[in-house]
Structure 1
Amino acid sequence: MARMTAGTGAAPLDLAAPWGGRSQVADLDGPVHWVDFGGPEGAPAVVLVHGLGGSHLNWVQIASPLADTYRVRALDLAGFGLTPGHDRSTTVHANAELLARFLEEVVGAPAILVANSMGGMVALLLASARPDLVDGLALISPSLPTERHPPDRGVALAFLVQATPFVGERVVTNFERRLTDQQRVSRTVNLCFADPTRSDAGVFDASVALSAYRRSLQGVDAGYVKAARSLLRVLRGPGRYAALIRGVSKPVLLIHGEKDRLVPVGAARRAAADNPGWRTVFLPGVGHTPQLEVPDVVLGHLRTWLADTAPPAK
């Protein structure tokens, strides 16, 4: 079992405890933090994969209810949450490889991947490269080709700055230093929610605590920028990425917020049209993180799809 270390203070390994999660650390060529939400032994495995700038906390409102029927785990990708990234790559391809190792060495079986935003891209990359490890994909506002449907202008500008060599790291670091941890989390909520008043107070406070801890870690901003750049590189080859997506043969559920500022709903509608075998749900008045903004709605759609895709053993 790997140990968590940081610049200052102990890692807050109890953040998911109020929602029934137990922190674990696996050694996968370095510590990888994950949360065990339990579930019946022998039940189909469900692994929750967060997006850019996210963590295991992105799933706490739906993980425990899913664990009534499924064996549920959430991991922090390299460079995010409580998984350090300064000594390993944080690109989407590297995190797809890390997810593969997690499934092989921790889960020990193929799994249904429930993935949001960048995590959706990571899950799609894995399903393409290692279909033997994936039983199905529930993609929640995933990163998709957007060449005909550009994101919000402010979002596009931020990504353009982050993609600029040397400038991106400096801008992100200087901007983050000016914000309190509460302001950091509020900024994320305002960006990712269509209605920020839907933010859960407990999740908000846990996210503030996580933000405070991450200030003590080395290379956090550089890891974030590296991940963002790798995501943009995939999106700059929209034809190749779209072909990869079409080549995924596993069952797919797509849930997308119609008020998503980061991945416009038009991109999701096009992906759904290109992949008619998918089950698709579009949520009016919902932003980029539906599992946080309207968790009960997302949970209902997930349960219905999971019952058809990976019915629990009786």
Structure 2
Amino acid sequence: MEQQPVLVFLRGLIRSRFHWLDFPQRFGNRYRVLTPELAGNGFRYNEPTPASIREMMEDVRRQVRSQTEQPISIVAVSMGAMIAAEWARCYPMEVRELHLINTSLANMSSPWERMTALSFFRLLACFGNRPRLERTIFELTINRPVTSTETQPWLTFAQQHPLSWRNVFGQLIAASRYKGPLTAPVDHVVFYNAAQDRLVRPLCTARIATNWKKPLITHPNAGHDLPADEPEWLENALKQHLLDLK
């Protein structure tokens, strides 16, 4: 019997697998879907986050490898895309394809391009106030109007799974230092970005796509959190480019 292909979803900075909501399950009729949780985030909030992107990659890799030995496809956002790129660099035979969303690398973009100064100071101003941090993340990463019906579960989840500020700053530092591959670590890579991303400048993703000589698909007015801002658009774009759905 032919094995079902495996699709792994990786979230970004201080985000949990919870924040995918039902998005991964949109691919469940064709793939075995896995959503590992990075130590320090979400359901693992009481664990220390690893100190580097390499160590974060090993953390999520152990979770996935405990469930499958098959080569995997990865869909990843922001810092999650850095983790995915490192996985493909270190273990290219384990990764069939990469679909990388609104990301950046320290060796291809400047710090003020990778996180705008205004966004950084707005996040810093939330120190010690988790609900305020969550609301600020909504404002910085989602451009469409968001209703209280949508935001309340996220606020409740944040209160029930409180992040430590040590982990928050640790992830910021690790992401800011990460220098990714200069060329594509695997053959099949597709990039997705949002032209109106207010957290990370869209050109950061575009530069990686150019250097890696891989396609870039751009949403004209979405924000940084493409899966939450424009899930239908992203679903359709992925389904056009995933190897098992082409």
Q: Same fold by TM (over 0.5)?
A: yes
State the TM-score, normalizing by the size of structure 2.
0.88
Asked whether 1:221 is paired with 2:165, we answer yes
Amino acid at match of 2:235: L
Q: Identify unmatched segments of 5+ residues in structure 1.
A: 1-40, 160-170
Q: CA deviation at 1:47?
A: 0.7
How far, CA to CA, are the matches of 2:49 and 2:197 in structure 1? 31
The higher radius of gyration belongs to: 1
Q: 1:96 aligns with which of 35, 48, 57?
A: 57
**Which moved further from structure 2: 293-302 or 143-152?**
143-152
Identity of aligned residues (%): 20
Q: 1:230 aligns with which of 156, 165, 174?
A: 174
Identify if the C-alpha distance between structure 1 residues 303 and 117 changes in structure 2 by more than 3 Å, giving closer, same or farther: same
* Contact 2:195/2:223 (<8 A) preserved: yes
How far, CA to CA, are the matches of 1:190 and 1:221 in structure 2? 20
2:23 alignment partner in structure 1: 62
2:118 alignment partner in structure 1: 154
1:133 alignment partner in structure 2: 94
1:27 alignment partner in structure 2: none
Asked whether 1:302 is paired with 2:214, we answer no
Identify if the C-alpha distance between structure 1 residues 304 and 230 changes in structure 2 by more than 3 Å, giving closer, same or farther: same
Q: 1:285 aligns with which of 221, 228, 231?
A: 221
2:149 alignment partner in structure 1: 201
Asked whether 1:177 is paired with 2:128, we answer yes
1:46 alignment partner in structure 2: 7
How far, CA to CA, are the matches of 1:88 and 1:54 in structure 2? 12
User: After superposition, what is the alpha-carbon deviation per residue over 1:131-171, rounded to whole angstroms, capped at 9, x for unaligned?
Assistant: 12211111111233322972422135568xxxxxxxxxxx6
User: After superposition, what is the alpha-carbon deviation per residue over 1:224-265, rounded to whole angstroms, capped at 9, x for unaligned?
Assistant: 21111111112xx5xxx3xx1414123111110111122211
Identify if the C-alpha distance between structure 1 residues 86 and 64 changes in structure 2 by more than 3 Å, giving closer, same or farther: closer
Question: How many residues in Structure 1 have an aligned counterpart in Structure 2?
Answer: 242
2:41 alignment partner in structure 1: 80
Q: 1:187 aligns with which of 136, 141, 162?
A: 136
Identify if the C-alpha distance between structure 1 residues 303 and 287 changes in structure 2 by more than 3 Å, giving closer, same or farther: same
How far, CA to CA, are the matches of 2:240 and 2:218 in structure 1? 15
Secondary structure at 2:75's aligned position in 1?
Answer: strand
How far, CA to CA, are the matches of 1:190 and 1:254 in structure 2? 24
Q: CA deviation at 1:77?
A: 0.6
* Contact 2:14/2:41 (<8 A) preserved: yes
Identify if the C-alpha distance between structure 1 residues 126 and 199 changes in structure 2 by more than 3 Å, giving closer, same or farther: farther
Identify if the C-alpha distance between structure 1 residues 176 and 76 changes in structure 2 by more than 3 Å, giving closer, same or farther: same
Give the RMSD, CA atoms, in angstroms. Answer: 2.5
How far, CA to CA, are the matches of 2:138 and 2:45 in structure 1? 23
* Contact 1:114/1:137 (<8 A) preserved: yes
* Contact 2:39/2:48 (<8 A) preserved: no
Secondary structure at 1:177's aligned position in 2?
Answer: coil
* Contact 2:82/2:104 (<8 A) preserved: yes
